[in-house]
Amino acid sequence: MAEDAGYQKYFPVSWEELHRNGRALAWRLMELGPFEGIVAVTRGGLVPAAIVARELDIRNIETVCIAAYRSDKSVGEVNIIKGLDIPNNGKGWLIVDDLVDSGITAKYVRDMIPEAHFATIYAKPKGRPRVDTFITEVSQDTWILFPWDQAPSFAKPIVEEHR
């Protein structure tokens, strides 16, 4: 599954941690605003965009709906489900996503609104050049388990995973 797509590690993120990092992202972005609005990249960017919107008191929120991951966690053909109609190439707007991984989704969004400021909570080395602001960098071979993708269960000790 994750190993087939090149992911060797899991990085679980709790709701509390996501909220804390979303607020940290807002703190970094505050000095760059005010922003005319936010474009949330669905689906992963919806929760971080809501946190940033609240913290920066932004009420104008749009979505761009893109699917690139396959069920085996590999990146496939990019499917633009809903595009954007933002004036001035996005100047004065903020794009928010949960992470930038390979940078493929970010490239498509950036091409739609090249003047917008792109912010993510997490960034991986391949995608990092595509975003302007991020909070935490993780290795390329790490799959981030967001709160909406996990449920409580038994976890083996790390040492047992490498035997």
**Residue 134 and residue 119: Cα distance in Å, rounded?**
6
In a domain, 7, yes or no: no
Distances (CA, A) of 10 to 19, 34, 96: 19, 35, 23
Q: Which of 57, 101, 132, 149 is catalytic?
A: 101
Work out how many domains the chain is built from and give that number: 1
Is residue 149 part of the annotated active site? The answer reads no
Q: Which tokens belong to 35?
A: 């922003």
Q: What are phi and psi of 37, to 5 degrees?
A: -175, 175
Q: Judge whether 45 is annotated as a binding position.
A: no
Structural domain boundaries, residue 50: 13-139
Q: Which of 4, 85, 98, 149 is catalytic?
A: 98
Is residue 98 part of the annotated active site? The answer reads yes
144-150 average pLDDT score: 92
Name the helix (H) or strand (E) containing 110. Answer: helix 104-112
Q: Judge whether 102 is annotated as a binding position.
A: yes
Tens of pLDDT, residues 79-136: 888 888 899 999 999 999 999 999 999 999 999 999 999 999 999 999 999 999 999 9
Is residue 4 part of the annotated active site? The answer reads no
In a domain, 88, yes or no: yes
Tens of pLDDT, residues 16-63: 999 999 999 999 999 998 999 999 999 999 999 999 999 999 999 999
Residues contacting 43, CB < 8 A, separation 6+: none
In a domain, 159, yes or no: no
Q: Supply the pTM of this predicted model.
A: 0.84
CATH number for the domain that contains residue 47: 3.40.50.2020
In a domain, 40, yes or no: yes
Residues contacting 157, CB < 8 A, separation 6+: none
pLDDT score, position 2: 45
Tens of pLDDT, residues 54-78: 999 999 999 999 887 655 555 667 8
pLDDT score, position 4: 47
Do the bridges between strand 61-69 and strand 75-82 make them parallel or antiparallel, or are there none, so unpaired?
A: antiparallel
Q: Judge whether 90 is annotated as a binding position.
A: no
Q: Judge whether 104 is annotated as a binding position.
A: yes
In a domain, 120, yes or no: yes
In a domain, 2, yes or no: no
In a domain, 133, yes or no: yes
Q: Which of 72, 85, 97, 141 is catalytic?
A: 97
Q: Judge whether 100 is annotated as a binding position.
A: yes
Q: Which tokens belong to 149?
A: 């993708």
In a domain, 154, yes or no: no
pLDDT score, position 83: 84
